[in-house]
Amino acid sequence: MLTFMKHKKRKSGFTLIELIVALSLITMVITVSTNMIIFSMRSHEITINEYELQTAMRLASDSTNRVIRYSSALFTIPSGRFYEANLTEGWNYFGVSDDGREIVRYTYETRGGVTQHWKEVLVPAQDNLTYDFVFEQDSGTNDSILKFKIVGTVTGTSTRKIEIDSEIEALNALQVVDRGTAFTPATAIAYRSDERPTDQIVGVVSMVMDVSGSMGDTLAGNSASAGNSRLDKLKISLGNMINEFAKEENMELSLVPFSTTANYRASAPEDGPTSYTATGTHPFYKVSNSTQRTNMIDVINDLYALGGTNSGDGIRRAYYRNLYYRTYVTNAASGYGSGHSTKDYMIILVDGVTTYRSGTSSTAHITDDGYISSSSYIYGSGNSESTQNDAYVTAIGNLVKNAGIKVYVIGYSSVADELLSVNKIATAVGALTKDVYYFTDALDLDQVFTEIKADIMKDLWHVRGPQL
């Protein structure tokens, strides 16, 4: 008997191994696709960010160009001095934020009844990116041209991601002042665009110049050949400064030379201190007027070194010349008239210690205005300083301080012992430390006069820079 065996039919399907392989392939495809999509999206985002960054930086550059071109006053701000807590009322600012991650503008104005500096972010923060904003005044003949550079750098590296260079002329600015240096470059600008007021400020500068006998020596204190004395060099530097002031309107300068006294000199100063006139006063010269400028330079060129050093008397006569012009400026005869006022300055140059003082007795100082009519009113040894001489300078200095006159003091000698009175004079008249100079050659004297002139121009209303 035959026996038949039945075979079961095998069902079709995937083995576990096949399923795992398939899932792995699908996962790989999905992963690759996802990465490609993410990469594409990131690339697109980076492209957009790059475009937005470049657009924002170019907009910042364009805004800076407009600010420079049309501002009425423009100052660069040294590195480390631009931050929100250090802004001056009335001034607007461009620069990099405290953390270096944004380029910002501060506008000083009233909004909703509140007057303050309002912050606007021109270039927003980007991951791993810091900004530099560097300004530099043109070193050529046109000092109204300002160069600037905006740089975006990858944080922690020297890799520059974007850089924009530009230079623009400040067409409307009365003066462009660059406060940056090679060591502390300017990294922000302060500007204002307000109209000039209808009333005018007249800058009044009295120059108290030592013409004692030692000014006829060399800087080292030796006998000088023709054209090589301290006074010879001073004459040249004063002439240069006056020519620079002549470029400015509304500047009145007075020269007050002094030695044993500061009496106004007669036509022959070489005859000595007794040749001074009793009635003469030291005139003011509007140096933008070519005739008056020439007259002042002629007076300077006639200066003669003779006598001792009565610093207090020189400061006294200059003080009263400043006071006189405060009232005289409102008189139509001055060339200005009503609506005008003054800002007062004094430049004091000495080459030796204070050896004389003016007084009605050995202890009573002459502090009012006027001519020293007799040698009996002159006290001191004539060759050394004394506490009484210093006390006279202090008494006159108090008048200057109380009058709000800004003072610059220059010590002009390479002999250290001759400059012992410089700091005493500076303290007496309230001169700031930065306004006290020790210069020992003609080149340096030109530099200090240039710096003083620039500082005075900054201080006048229309170019008075922000406080640093």
Residue 122's alpha-carbon distances to 87, 94, 249, 336, in angstroms, are 18, 9, 37, 44
* Long-range contacts formed by 360-364: CB under 8 A, 24+ apart: 362/388, 363/388
| Boundary of a domain, candidates 172, 192, 212 | 192
Confidence (pLDDT) at 272? 43
Is 38 among the domain residues?
no
Is 386 among the domain residues?
yes
Please report the DSSP string for 342-373 in residue order: EEEEEEEEESS----EEBSSSS-B--SSS---
State whether 245 and 357 are in the same domain: yes
State whether 176 and 214 are in the same domain: no
State whether 78 and 186 are in the same domain: yes
CA 344/CA 204 separation, integer angstroms? 5
E strand or H helix that includes residue 146:
strand 145-154
Is 82 among the domain residues?
yes
State whether 372 and 242 are in the same domain: yes
Is 249 among the domain residues?
yes
State whether 172 and 138 are in the same domain: yes
State whether 228 and 177 are in the same domain: no
The DSSP output letter for 130 is: E
State whether 186 and 209 are in the same domain: no
| Boundary of a domain, candidates 159, 192, 225 | 192
Confidence (pLDDT) at 457? 77
- Positions of the chain with pLDDT under 70: 1-14, 39-53, 56, 139-143, 160-161, 172-175, 194-199, 265-280, 440-443, 458, 461-465, 467-468
Is 5 among the domain residues?
no
State whether 144 and 180 are in the same domain: yes
Confidence (pLDDT) at 240? 94
Confidence (pLDDT) at 394? 97
| Boundary of a domain, candidates 192, 214, 246 | 192
E strand or H helix that includes residue 423:
helix 422-429
State whether 209 and 330 are in the same domain: yes
CATH number at residue 458: 3.40.50.410
State whether 228 and 123 are in the same domain: no
Q: Chain-centre distance of CA 388, in angstroms?
A: 37
Is 27 among the domain residues?
no
Domain of 354 in residue numbering reads as 200-463
Q: Which residues of 437-452 are buried (b: 16+ CB within 10 A; e: fewer)?
A: bbbbebeebbebbeeb
By the 10 Å C-beta count (0-12 exposed, 13-18 middle, 19+ buried), 99 is classed as exposed
State whether 208 and 168 are in the same domain: no
Residue identified by tokens 């040294």 is 78
How many structural domains is the chain composed of? 2
Is 34 among the domain residues?
no
Confidence (pLDDT) at 199? 47
- Count of H helices and E strands in the chain? 7, 17
Is 379 among the domain residues?
yes
State whether 229 and 168 are in the same domain: no
